[in-house]
């Protein structure tokens, strides 16, 4: 499991997170699971990036899974209308 080492994941962080995701997606086999335990805040720019990561995973038949998602982040995902789009959120 890959730990997402950000407290906040917003437009200010997406540039560096993008680079990390590129690497992780390249390495991932069947599953890319991201530990979201540390992330307390997320914004639409980050959500968009996650959706891109998900697309990228699908393309190479792997799966993106978010784990340990905090309630704040979950709430934001719900507000964006995409809590159903990610695996690992129930």
Query: Minimum CB separation from other proteins for residue 8, in Å?
Result: 13
Tokens standing for residue 85: 């789009």
Residues 6+ apart with CB under 8 A from 50: 64, 66, 86
Q: Does 6 bind other proteins (CB under 8 A)?
A: no
Contact pick of 53, 66, 69, 73 for other proteins (by CB under 8 A): 53
Q: Does 17 bind other proteins (CB under 8 A)?
A: yes
Q: Does 73 bind other proteins (CB under 8 A)?
A: no
Q: Which stretch binds other proteins (CB under 8 A): 1-9, 31-39, 65-73, 74-82?
A: 74-82
As separate numbers, helices (DSSP H) first and strands (DSSP E) second, the chain gives 3, 5
């Amino acid at each position: 499991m890959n730990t997402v080492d950000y407290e906040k994941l917003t437009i200010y962080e997406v540039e560096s997170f993008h680079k990390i995701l590129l690497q992780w997606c390249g390495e991932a086999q069947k599953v890319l699971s991201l530990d979201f335990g540390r992330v307390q805040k997320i914004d639409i720019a980050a959500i968009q990036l996650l959706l891109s990561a998900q697309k990228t995973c699908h393309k190479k038949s792997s799966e993106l899974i978010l784990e340990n998602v905090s309630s704040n982040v979950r709430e934001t995902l719900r507000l964006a209308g995409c809590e159903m789009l990610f695996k690992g959120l129930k």
